Amino acid sequence: MIRRRSAQPSPRTRHTRLGAFLSKSTRGDVFYGIMALRDVQVRRHLAHENILSVQELLLPSSSSTFVDVYVVQESMDTDLRAVIKSQNSLSDDHIKYLMYNILSGIKHLHAANLVHRKLRPTKILLNRNDEVKISDFQHTCRREEIRVWMQLREETNECINRCDHLQHLRMVFKLIGSPNDDEVRACPTQAAEFVKSICCPKADLATVFPTATTLALDLLERMLCFDPKKRITAANALMHPYFSEFAHDDTPEAGSALECEVLPTMDCSTDCELACLDLDESKLREQFLTEIRLYHPE
């Protein structure tokens, strides 16, 4: 399996071990190696202040037998989940700053025609310099590969054996309300039947978030939509009056090169398809060496 281990960090970087991906014991280790390769490839292309960059991949001691890959990246102190779970209350200005930076990173990702797919508080990294970075692009895929119902389908398929997914969906619908018939039609039959079985009225956001400002509630209302066609985009969210004090950049993000360069051998939308790629240990090692040499042209 891929294991992450940090060496002694410098003030601005750290060495992270993406290890044992070439273990011959299980096919799963190669699979996690593919995911790690996807992550560093995507991050190499996505140069943006709100995306955790890859500064270097260290050369292995042996190009023919190495099983560990070390990536040098910016040192981040914590993640958003830890901040949320802490006893420190966040002011509206702090929340606004975090949201603006997260949306800026998402806008750049979407401009590159990519979707993160696993974005959650633990993937949002923070440091003492008030920098906000989106991390972990192992599950990233092209926008045309994803469907409105993909994430819902993945969770629904596990609901039989994992009640936490059931509870998760119920909590979502308790906040945004159960989708209407038109919205449910975008789901496959199995998922649609499951969604219809959960009947929840939409919550009053002002009651759920009593300290939120009127503008913050309006933005949340536009973001928390089940139907992506009705949901506000990251680019438009950045132009919302809630962020009026920030300087807006109306120019499109540079990312067109990604359409032909990113993930040439991993153009898949689901983890299951990734596992079926024709990449054995030797081919995966070659792929990593190609990526490593980009940082060491000598």
- Report the CATH number that the domain containing residue 269 is assigned in CATH: 3.30.200.20
Comparison of pLDDT for 196 and 152, the residue scoring more: 196
Average pLDDT along the chain: 76
Share of the chain above pLDDT 70, in %: 71
pLDDT of residue 293: 93
Q: Is the pLDDT of residue 24 over 50?
A: no
Q: How many CB atoms lie within 10 A of CB 141?
A: 24
Instruction: Categorize the per-residue pLDDT at 66 as very low, low, confident or very high, splitting at 50, 70 and 90.
Output: confident
Instruction: State mean pLDDT over 108-116.
Output: 91
Give the span between the Cα atoms of 52 and 123, in whole angstroms.
10
Residue 27 counted as domain residue: yes
pLDDT per position as a tens digit, 139-159: 888 765 554 434 444 444 444
pLDDT of residue 156: 44
Q: Is the pLDDT of residue 226 over 50?
A: yes
Comparison of pLDDT for 100 and 259, the residue scoring more: 100
What is the count of structural domains for the chain? 1
Residue 50 counted as domain residue: yes
CA geometry: angle 100, 11, 93, nearest 5 deg: 25
The model's pTM is 0.78
Cβ neighbours for 263, distance < 8 A, ≥ 6 positions apart: 38, 41, 42, 140, 141, 142
Residue 279 counted as domain residue: yes
Q: Which pair of tokens denotes residue 286? A: 């070659």
Q: Is the pLDDT of residue 20 over 50?
A: no
Instruction: State mean pLDDT over 23-30.
Output: 44
Residue 61 counted as domain residue: yes
Q: Is the pLDDT of residue 61 over 70?
A: yes
DSSP 3-state percent helix, strand, coil across the chain (nearest 5): 45, 10, 45
pLDDT of residue 119: 92
pLDDT of residue 102: 96
CA geometry: angle 285, 286, 289, nearest 5 deg: 85
Cα 47 off chain centre by: 15
DSSP 145: G
Residue 223 counted as domain residue: no
Q: Is the pLDDT of residue 244 over 70?
A: yes
Residue 105 counted as domain residue: no
Residue 202 counted as domain residue: no
Decide: helix, strand or coil at residue 269. Answer: coil
Instruction: Categorize the per-residue pLDDT at 9 as very low, low, confident or very high, splitting at 50, 70 and 90.
Output: very low
pLDDT per position as a tens digit, 114-144: 889 889 999 999 998 889 999 999 888 876 5
Residue 68 counted as domain residue: yes
- Look at the block and give the residue holding tokens 């599950």: 139
Q: Is the pLDDT of residue 48 over 80?
A: yes
Q: Is the pLDDT of residue 99 over 50?
A: yes
Decide: helix, strand or coil at residue 105. Answer: helix
Instruction: Categorize the per-residue pLDDT at 8 as very low, low, confident or very high, splitting at 50, 70 and 90.
Output: very low
pLDDT of residue 295: 93
pLDDT of residue 164: 61
Task: Look up the domain containing 276 and give its range.
Answer: 13-75+253-293
Instruction: State mean pLDDT over 199-206.
Output: 90
Dihedral over alpha carbons 143, 78, 72, 258 (to 10 degrees): 10
Decide: helix, strand or coil at residue 73. Answer: strand
- Which of 25, 6, 7, 44 lies closest to 290, judged by CA? 44
Decide: helix, strand or coil at residue 180. Answer: coil
Q: Where does the chain have alpha helices with state H?
A: 27-45, 80-85, 92-111, 150-158, 163-176, 181-184, 189-196, 205-208, 214-223, 234-238, 258-261, 271-275, 281-293
Give the span between the Cα atoms of 51 and 42, in whole angstroms.
10
Residue type, 90: L
Instruction: State mean pLDDT over 250-265.
Output: 46
Give the span between the Cα atoms of 237 and 241, in whole angstroms.
9
User: HEC string of 12-42?
Assistant: CEEEEEEECCCCCCCHHHHHHHHHHHHHHHH
Q: Is the pLDDT of residue 263 over 50?
A: no
CB 187 within 8 A of CB 148: yes
- Which of 33, 2, 23, 28 lies closest to 286, judged by CA? 33
Give the span between the Cα atoms of 176 and 49, in whole angstroms.
31
Share of the chain above pLDDT 90, in %: 34
**Rounded to a whole number, what is the distance in angstroms from the first to the last CA of the chain?**
31
Q: Is the pLDDT of residue 103 over 90?
A: yes
